[in-house]
Amino acid sequence: MEIKKNQNGEGLLIVIEGTDGSGKSTQVNLLDEYIKYKGYGVAVSEWKTSRLISGVINDAKERNLLNTTTFSLLYAADYTDRLENEIIPALKAGFVVLMDRYIYTAFVRDSVRGHDINWVKSLYSFAPKPDLVFYLNVPPDILIKRLIAKNGVLDYFESGRDIGLSVDTYNSFEIYQKRCLEEYGKLKKEYGFIELDGTKPKEEIHNIIKAEVDKLL
């Protein structure tokens, strides 16, 4: 099958945002298959997957070496490397680039960890604007059930334990995720996110996403 390019000869940047356990990766995978079925070239880029930086982040996390500023800067470096070596080349080649998280994840996490949101935004001021941003909204009580069912435990950083919210992991997770949801609530208005109920069946969510993407394709 011949791979189609978009009519303007440039690619599309489509983002699926949300917290861990919201169903982002599932929807990215479904959309990846759908767009390929339509005959378009697709590239997928996930948060913290830079070949240059991701190993450094994982090592620092395991050894608990990240303060809030180092946390911010390492993730910004990861994004920058992927932007230069994956995202921009794919867009120039006319591909549809699917992002499993984008800079908005950094806006949320860094501001919850105490950084001024304007400082964080300036850190990513060079980032290209997406053509579509989908935001999967899932309440903390559902997220806890999903993540424990999947991993058996709650992640130290996704529970906000690194910023001392609570000595109890579950309570810390709830506080941290509620704060994240508040930040996402601000961003969705500012950046025009298409908000989706992440508790709905994955096929129902996928159909809504498909309909919006078809408008661009």
Q: Which pLDDT tens digits describe the chain residue by residue (217 residues)? A: 344 444 445 899 999 999 989 999 999 999 999 999 999 999 999 999 999 999 999 898 888 877 889 999 999 999 999 999 999 999 999 999 999 999 999 999 999 999 999 999 999 999 999 999 999 999 999 999 999 888 888 888 889 998 999 989 999 999 999 999 999 999 999 999 999 999 999 999 999 999 999 999 9
Whether 10 and 91 have beta carbons less than 8 Å apart is answered as yes
Give the number of other CB atoms < 10 A from CB of residue 21: 25
Domain of 20: which CATH number? Answer: 3.40.50.300
Q: Number of structural domains, the chain? A: 1
Domain that holds residue 24: 12-137+193-216
In a domain, 98, yes or no: yes
Hey, what amino acid is at 178?
K
In a domain, 155, yes or no: no
User: Is 12 strand, coil or helix?
Assistant: strand
Gap between the Cα atoms of 47 and 32, Å rounded:
16
In a domain, 174, yes or no: no
